[in-house]
Structure 1
Amino acid sequence: MQTTLAQYKETQSSDAFALQNSKLLKVSLAGHTIQAKLGSMVAYQGDVTFEHAGSGGMSRMLKKAVTGEGQDLMKVTGSGEVFLADSAQDVHLVYLEGDKITVNGPNLLAFDTDIAWDIERIRGASGMMGGGLWNMSLQGTGFVAILSDGPPVLLNVASAPTFADAQAAITWSGGVTTAMKTDVKMKNLIGRGSGESVQMAFQGEGWVLVQPSEGQVVASGPQGSNGGALGSLLGG
């Protein structure tokens, strides 16, 4: 019997993080630890252990409690290989070399545990968006895996004034500063606006990655959109 399944054979790579395909990330643990979105494991081989990562400190725990931002993470350790995905979204790899990027929390899939992370507020957001707009910053050396709901576009911020929907802007580089832009024309006040009256503004030297969506709708229920049994086991 002929089969075409051979095209789906496991990818071989010397890198710890490698794309199995556009929607599936393969991580070779080789004795080191990564942090990944809670419930994102779809398969693994070998000796692999999962545990809830927590907030990593009182400051970040308080920020998560107040803002609702900051992805629920799990620590993944062992000597095997783990495959990660989330709702068949596209996966993109960024390798940091002492650099900093900012990521919209739901779009963060996994990163090397040596990379430091924190929760930061978008400048100018608090007065107009009910408590502020917050995202996760990551800085250090290692791989970061980012999710996008469809193929994104990479915009050069230095080339022109750049604006994006807050949910569509999924990550941007450390040389970029952000602020909020509002359109308060009279037509917006009387119900005839475009629906795009608040945007994020980007400026500086660097880039911003924008997905062709304002994010996937999260299913209601105790397991969320992709927690599954593993999310329950780890306390997600």
Structure 2
Amino acid sequence: MQSPIFNNTVNQTQERFAAQGAQMLRVALGHGEDVLARTGSMVAFEGMAEFDGEYQTPGRQHQQWAAGEALPLMRCHGQGAVYLAHLAQHVHVLDVDHEGLTVDSSYVLALDPHLHWDVVAVESQYGIAGAGAYNLVISGRGKVALTTSGRPLVMRVSPEGYCGADADAVVAWSSSLRVQMQAQTSTSSVWRRRGNTGEGWELNFMGQGHVVVQPSELLPPTHTSFGQQIAGQFRPQQPAPGAPHGGSAWGR
């Protein structure tokens, strides 16, 4: 049997977290080093790998439920390697240090189990919990694998100038940055998108650090079980008065 498909072989590397092409992650297991991965993200494994649901305290479960920012995790352990992916999204490995990382939980693929993470609120200047109002802050020293829809843009933020991005396109940012969420609108309702521009909530970043923005305003699709339709997931938004409820996410 011959085909160019056989060029897609295992990436032989000593790195524990290693990209396996653009849309898959290989994590080496063994010597007491486990990895926490998004539930259901395993696509293949080598050796004697095992998978267990990761226990989360009732307090953390309630916090995630109340914020709508859940991070379902499984613990991968054993000897060998595990291959992780999520809906063919692009995979990126980041080293978390003293800066910390703030990220939407929908984009977390895997992380070192010794890292600490918690749910935090991104404050709106209107005092309203809108799009992207809650995120995860990951702290400590270790590796985190994120996914994006396409190749992302990484913007550097400095004290000399801040930057802004659509709240639905922002994936992650340095936790050291100061963040303000706002909706530039001239209508009486801050939920309505800006006039006829199609733009709504935005995040402004100030300080010293980085912001990761993907070329899409769609979160990863959800409800992908057999027999269910794949649909883009949006952050909760209140429809404008008189607008019909429901409808296709692709018709935004």
User: How do residues 146-225 of structure 1 correspond to structure 2 at under 5 angstroms?
Assistant: 146-158=146-158, 160-186=161-187, 192-216=195-219, 218-220=221-223
Q: Once the 2 structures are TM-superposed, how far is the Cα of residue 51 of structure 1 from its aligned partner?
A: 1.2
Tell me the equivalent position of 1:104. 104
Tell me the equivalent position of 1:229. none
Moved more, 11-20 or 126-135: 126-135
Q: SS in structure 2 opposite 1:79?
A: strand
**CA distance in 1: counterparts of 2:28 and 2:150, whole angstroms:** 26
**CA distance in 2: counterparts of 1:132 and 1:149, whole angstroms:** 17
**CA distance in 2: counterparts of 1:130 and 1:3, whole angstroms:** 50
Q: Which runs of 5+ in 2 are unaligned?
A: 231-252
**CA distance in 2: counterparts of 1:78 and 1:215, whole angstroms:** 35
**CA distance in 2: counterparts of 1:19 and 1:172, whole angstroms:** 21
Provide runs of 4+ in structure 1 moved above 4 Å. Answer: 186-191, 221-225
Across the aligned residues of Structure 1 and Structure 2, the Cα RMSD in angstroms comes to: 2.6
Tell me the equivalent position of 1:231. none
Q: SS in structure 2 opposite 1:154?
A: strand
**CA distance in 1: counterparts of 2:204 and 2:193, whole angstroms:** 24
Q: SS in structure 1 opposite 2:106?
A: helix
**CA distance in 2: counterparts of 1:2 and 1:108, whole angstroms:** 36
Tell me the equivalent position of 2:240. none
Which structure has more helix as a fraction of its residues?
1
Tell me the equivalent position of 1:41. 42
Tell me the equivalent position of 1:12. 12
Q: Once the 2 structures are TM-superposed, how far is the Cα of residue 2 of structure 1 from its aligned partner?
A: 4.3
Tell me the equivalent position of 1:232. none
Q: Deviations over 1:82-137 (max 9, x none)?
A: 00000110000101234410111110000010111111111237832359711111
Tell me the equivalent position of 2:128. 128
Change (3 A) 1:113 1:125: farther
User: How do residues 30-69 of structure 1 correspond to structure 2 at under 5 angstroms?
Assistant: 30=30, 31-55=32-56, 57-69=57-69
**CA distance in 1: counterparts of 2:220 and 2:116, whole angstroms:** 29
Tell me the equivalent position of 1:92. 92
Q: SS in structure 2 opposite 1:21?
A: coil
TM-score by length of 2: 0.80
Change (3 A) 1:191 1:89: closer
Q: Deviations over 1:120-159 (max 9, x none)?
A: 1112378323597111111111111010000000011225
Moved more, 80-89 or 168-177: 168-177
TM-score by length of 1: 0.85
**CA distance in 1: counterparts of 2:10 and 2:49, whole angstroms:** 18
**CA distance in 2: counterparts of 1:190 and 1:82, whole angstroms:** 43
Greater relative CO (CA pairs within 8 A, separation 6+): 1
Q: Which runs of 5+ in 1 are unaligned?
A: 226-236
How many corresponding residue pairs? 224
- The code of the aligned residue for 1:202 comes to F
